[in-house]
Chain A
Amino acid sequence: MPEDDALMHILPSQTSSGSQRVMVEVAGLCKDFGAHRVLDNIHLTVDPGEVIAIIGPSGSGKSTLLRCINLLERPSAGAIRVGDVEIDAFRKITRRELLAFRRPIGMVFQSFNLFPHLSVLRNVSIAQERVLKRSREEADAVSRQLLERVGLGSKADQYPARCSGGQQQRIAIARALALEPELMLFDEPTSALDPELGLEVLNVMQELATAGMTMIVVTHEMHFAESVSNRVIIMADGKIIEEGPSVQVMRSPHSERAKQFLGAVLNR
């Protein structure tokens, strides 16, 4: 049962014993929406503990790439491996495979997507009960701990609507962490927040990165990309146009398109 295996996963720092296997492998990934090719032959590998920032202009396919990695969008071509589970766009994916594939992946959305009818505590607990089969007491105890960790222990009994955007996003992070993911995907986590509230979220993310979490972050936060991530990927028109160590990519990009994009976002 995938659920039982899942209980064994704790943090990536602990899984790094033995062979340092690549955690995420994306090969030849394409995604078409009708006649429009949104992702064009994407290759990407992520090592355990690595933090990757994906930047680029709107419509470049950043979010679609992220959504393909946990199969919220089905790839049109290519293969994706996360941990030990590999899927191929040309093979039919069973429901069981789909759940097993997503199991080690946590995701944080631009629009938070907390469940509005559940209290903050229940938001963090519900998936633990349904996926990890924890009892309500166990799940709630873990949730309270995680809420403390993101600085929101006092909000446990509130409803999400009573929380600020920054608080909601930190709750969403706690909700994803509750399933003990090995990989966290962040889809523009601060784009819906004003700069001050965004900072609360970035601080939590930075702490997570320091703790050794493997992260892929689609973002417009250039400072985060340069200072927190290990590697930056610049996308344009569905392709990866620049990739490398963060400072190098941000300071001295090779391609004209990347220079143009960075010039526009950095010199304003």
Chain B
Amino acid sequence: MMATILSGVTWTIALSLTALAIGIILGGVLCAMRTSGVALLDFAATVLILAFRSVPPIVWLFLIYFGIGSGIVQVSPFQAAAIGLGLITGANMAEIFRGSLKAIHPGQGEAARALSMPPVWRMVDVIIPQLMRISLPSVVSYGIGLLKDTAIASTIGVPEIAFKASHVSQVTFRGLESFAFAGALYILLSVPIALASREIDQRLRARVAK
């Protein structure tokens, strides 16, 4: 029983990481659009963020898997879940990045401009490293939330922890044990991530702290 549920861990981790990766890239793009100063891009990003966030995750998954993914384009349950969760994550990352950007002193960009650094290098050398440090705690806590939210991927058949637990409980009629074990697995996955994040955050903070 335990072995079966354990075999879902890989899927849970893979789905979380994929959705997070999609989300970070998409969030970076959306944040760039939001702060570009170009009204049309800003508006487009605002609408997309609103759409991604307003529709519940499970509706996104069904929409992608049963709606779009069953027509001309065929998507696997994993792909549908990764895209759906990735879109929602992207919208939230965009807002996290935008908030972090505001926390960077405007003098940083000015100093880079005064040094006549080209725009790309201003971003790569000066802004993005600081953005990553400032947004790390929010990104990680969102990531932990995401890890738990991957459970809804069981509804479209991704064989992750919750899906396996549900399967085992139906076969063995031992619902309490199955889901308790699944719950414990989520805790075991989340806690080390939280601890690691705190450690990294403190190290980075020590470097810039007075």
Contacts and interface: CB of A to CB of B under 8 A. Distances in A.
Q: Do A and B bind each other?
A: yes
A114 B34 CA distance: 27
Interface string A155-195: 00001010000000000100110010000000000000000
A131 B208 contact: no
B125 A113 contact: no
Contacts of B108: 113, 115
B207 A176 contact: no
B117 A130 contact: yes
A176 B111 CA distance: 9
Contacts of B210: 161
A62 interface: no
Interface in A81-116: 95, 99, 102-103, 105-107, 109, 111-116
B113 interface: yes
A163 B115 CA distance: 21
Given A72-B110, A179-B116, A117 B105 contact: no
Contact of B105 (A72, A99, A113, A172): A113
A111 B208 CA distance: 15
A11 to B, nearest CB: 18
A116 B126 CA distance: 9
Contacts of A241: none
B107 A109 contact: yes
B55 interface: no
Contact of A102 (B114, B121, B209): B114
B129 to A, nearest CB: 5
A147 B165 CA distance: 62
Nearest to A96: B118
A95 B133 CA distance: 29
Binding site of B, secondary structure by majority: helix, strand, loop or mixed? Answer: helix
What bracket does the count of chain B residues touching chain A fall in?
A: 20 to 34
Interface string B184-210: 000000000000000000000001111
B130 interface: yes
A99 B113 CA distance: 9
A117 B110 contact: no
A70 B111 CA distance: 11
A107 to B, nearest CB: 4
Interface string A208-240: 000000000000000000000000000000000
B114 A72 contact: yes
A127 interface: yes
Listed residue (B107, B111, B116, B209) with the most chain A CB atoms within 10 angstroms of its CB: B116
Contact of B114 (A70, A111, A159): A70
Interface in B72-131: 105, 107-108, 110-119, 121, 125-126, 129-130
B130 A102 contact: no
A159 B113 contact: no
A127 B116 contact: yes
A35 to B, nearest CB: 22
9 contacts: A72-B114, A99-B118, A105-B114, A109-B114, A111-B105, A117-B207, A176-B115, A179-B115, A179-B116
Contacts of B208: 116-117, 159, 161
B209 A131 contact: no
Interface string B17-37: 000000000000000000000
Nearest to A107: B114
Nearest to B119: A95
Nearest to B107: A113
A46 interface: no
